[in-house]
Structure 1
Amino acid sequence: MSSAPAWTFDPTWRSFSAVQGGVIVGSLLRAARGAVMDRSGRPAVVRTATAHFLEAVLPDEPVVPSVRLNRLGSTSSVHAEAWQGDALRALAQVLVTTARDQDDPTPVVADADLPTGFRTPDDAEPLAVPPDFVPFTRHLDVRAVGAGRPLAGGPEPRLTAWIRPRDRAALAGPLVQLGVVADALPPSLYATRTTPIVLPTVELTLHLVRAVPPVGAWLRVDQWTSWQDAHVCIDDALLHDAQGRLVARTRQTRRVLRR
């Protein structure tokens, strides 16, 4: 088990009272990829990751990452953790591949890209998210696509938006941006409601199918609720780049807390 320099997130990275889960996941992916590259001396690509959120990560307190390589090779399995004090706050199991001659995946994904003529960020509608409740959104430019809007009482639990950071310097790299964007939209159930309920994310899984765009690039998130019961709901999402190419598929489990 190895540790890296601690992270600290100021209160502007809060989602409600805790630090946004996406920036934690993205930071764990970056740490896992870095550990593989340091040990192998080869370019490395994150392929899949599953993260669990165990306790809230608090702002303005050091977060200490800890990385363990379960297997190092052309396919590496990495266990990454985020600690505050004596408490394990989040963990991720990350699959990383290495190669001698290429850094980026070169996928062939049939019918996964957006059709010609899809609505670009310039044609989308700016979406204002109340920063008092989710302060991390002040770091993002969010532009809505389609009819779904949070708390609009619509017929379908689906939200779609283009998202990019306002300040490239605020994010430590493309994998951190990917995590932030993947967890940036409200729960898709909010599109069918007019009042909020508490739906914290407790698990987030990502499958990366293309090279992650650089920090500052637009990513389109098309997110929908695919399943729910009285205790949890599942949001699936597709992330595309500004050229309409599929970048990642994600799924997150949200607890349903009725208070």
Structure 2
Amino acid sequence: MTATTTDTEIRVDPRWWSWEGAHGGHVAALALTAVRDRFAGGAHPVRTLTTHYLAPVDDSPLHFSGAAPAVGRRTASCVFTGHQNGVPVIHGSALFGAGRPGPSYDESPLPGVPGPRDCRRLDLPAGLSPFARQLEIRPATDDLPLAGGDKAELTAWVRFLDGRALDAPAAVTLTDVLPPALYARWRTPRPVPTAELTVHLTDAFDDGTHEGWALVRIRTERAGGGWAVDDSAVWAADGRLLALARQARVVRAQPAAGSVNS
């Protein structure tokens, strides 16, 4: 495969900042857009995107390099790296494949929760989640961040305030927009940055994009030794599952009082 470097300079919108740098889901969505348009040609829908975060992404120009897609009879895959100041900050891969007739099965139906109109808006602290100001978040259950609950799970209706369509990059972003699920058990925030994020996009995008609200759920499957594993799901308002994701997180020591940086 022949390596190809993009000639387009990308800068992360500062409105999409998180605790330690650019929001991980947003960065992954930028990577998907760059890979799809530059290396894969957008010929087939994306099925899986994996992103490894090597360092926080800052406000420096972000350049993507990648390999010409490895094309098989049914799928194409591409490996990519994002660089800032000549240093790799993210590395990952994307798998593309055309839709085709086949059996259907869905073990992840839309949870039975109130609709967004019946849920109150949640404003996350700007110092912890600056990117949340680009979203409207309405918890759909009684589990809230930093409420000291019994389980590590959060579920909320979310929509982009700029009215963007729910396409594949938007779904990638949404898998990471809720606080880490451990926040539902904690009362004091601490950094829990993502080290790796894998998103599986469903055939719901084969028919085009979606609009409006999405229901997002995130839960911690396991935490220990300074690491946590979170699973998330994203549904369109009509009940169609858009994406499933799993991410490995680093659980940092609690910051000093009044600090928002690790």
User: TM bucket by the smaller chain?
Assistant: 0.7 to 0.9
Tell me by how many angstroms 1:147 deviates: 1.2
2:4 aligned partner, one-letter code: S
Change (3 A) 1:9 1:87: same
| SS of structure 2 residue aligned to 1:56 | coil
Structure 1 match to 2:213: 218
RMSD between aligned residues: 2.3
What is the match of residue 140 of structure 2?
145
1:3 is displaced (CA, Å) by: 2.9
- How many residues end up aligned between the 2 structures? 248
How far off its partner does 1:226 sit? 0.5
Which of 198, 201, 208 does residue 208 from structure 1 map onto?
A: 201
Aligned partner of 1:55 in structure 2 is 55
2:204 is paired with a residue of what secondary structure? coil
Tell me the SS of whatever aligns to 2:68: strand
In structure 1, C-alpha distance between the alignment counterparts of 2:23 and 2:4, rounded to whole Å: 24
Instruction: Compute the displacement of 1:77 (Å).
Output: 1.1
Structure 2 unaligned regions, length at least 5: 255-262
Q: Secondary structure at the match of 1:167?
A: coil
The aligned residue for residue 183 of structure 1 is: 176
Query: Between the two proteins, what is the percent identity of the paired residues?
Result: 32
Q: Contact between 2:168 and 2:201, CA under 8 Å: does it hold in 1?
A: no
Which letter does structure 1 place at the counterpart of 2:105? V
Q: Which residue of 2 aligns with 1:2?
A: 4
SS of 1:211's equivalent?
helix
Any stretches of 5+ residues in structure 1 without a counterpart?
none
Query: Deviation at 1:114?
Result: 2.0
Matched, 1:235 2:230: yes
Give the structure 2 partner of residue 174 of structure 1.
167
Determine the C-alpha separation between the residues in 2 that align with 1:215 and 1:87: 36
Per-residue deviation at 1:215?
A: 7.0
Structure 1 residues 78 and 258 mapped into 2: Cα distance closer, same or farther (>3 Å)? same
Q: Distance in 2 between matches of 1:92 and 1:217?
A: 29
Asked whether the 8 Å contact 1:165–1:216 carries over to 2, the reply is no
Cα distance in 1 for partners of 2:102, 2:113 equals 23
